[in-house]
Amino acid sequence: MKRISAQAVTKAVRDMCISANRYQPEDVKAAIKAGEAGEDSPTAKEVFRQLSENIDLAAGTGLPLCQDTGLAVLFVTLGQEVYVEGNLSEAINEGVRQGYGEGLLRKSACDPFSRKNTGDNTPAVIHYDIVPGEALRIAFMAKGGGAENMSRVMMLAPAEGWEGVKKFVLTRVAESRSNPCPPIIIGIGIGGTFEHSAKLAKLALMRKLDDVNPEPDLAAKEEELLGLVNRLGIGPMGLGGRHTALGLKILTSPCHIASFPLAVNIQCHSSRHEEVEL
């Protein structure tokens, strides 16, 4: 049995909140650099150049990558042989509280009706998975409002299948236009239930941009749909270009025989996420 203190959890979450809001993951940085070279239009090239400059400025100054430092979303994978000394959820929320406070990050959490800010960016949205083993893995994502607002869940008829998925995703991206600050990353969850598909879609955004789906059929589907999305021509910041999306990732799960749940979680170019293992 491995023992982990609540303080260690809090510190890890605090550090990720600050660091993810300052430093883009290497795969996103590389995709943005490649985007500039891959555009023909001077406007699209200039947008990509400014995005790269913004990444360098944030890393150099310690200022956040974007003024919207997001709602804190955490995926916790808890090994059954781990004993956390203290309340795990409270330790995570304390980490968010400290990270957003000490990192001078904007607090975006508020009551949905009164719009009163909770003051410390808590409560975080925490998803738990229990697995065998002695490891505690925590993945943090700072999810901005602009891109999250463009996301949707749809219960397709089973007969709609892949064609239905493509139609829904393309319509969603086309209707979103510049709102989610493209170039976007698209997380797609297919299967499970209504809420499980949404969780899968968000989890898909944690995958690296340059990974290849281990299931060849899904890898082909990801490539096909990413190509179709980029043919929409919305381009970086909606100003036209070849790159509407930097990546498109699909996760699936078995579903009810009468259902075809489909969730599309849209992520802006400022894809701020990190993982740690304790």
d(CA 190, CA 254): 8
Q: Which is nearer to ligand SF4, 70 or 261 (CB)?
A: 70
Task: Tell whether residue 25 is a contact of ligand SF4 (CB under 6 A).
Answer: no
Among 200, 268, 273, 274, binds ligand SF4 (CB under 6 A): 268
**Contact between 44 and ligand SF4 (CB under 6 A)?**
no
Q: Does 250 bind ligand SF4 (CB under 6 A)?
A: no
**163-202 binders of ligand SF4 (CB under 6 A):** 180-181
- Does residue 261 bind ligand SF4 (CB under 6 A)? no
Site for ligand SF4 in 132-161 (CB under 6 A): 144-147
Among 68, 94, 222, 274, binds ligand SF4 (CB under 6 A): 68
Question: Which CB, 64 or 261, lies closer to ligand SF4?
Answer: 64
Does 241 interact with ligand SF4 (rule: CB under 6 A)? no
Q: Does 103 interact with ligand SF4 (rule: CB under 6 A)?
A: no
Query: Binding of ligand SF4 at residue 58 (CB under 6 A)?
Result: no
Is the Cβ of residue 47 or residue 165 nearer to ligand SF4 in the bound state? 47
Of residues 88 and 184, the one with the C-beta less far from ligand SF4: 184
Enumerate binding residues for ligand SF4 (CB under 6 A): 66, 68, 144-147, 180-181, 268, 270
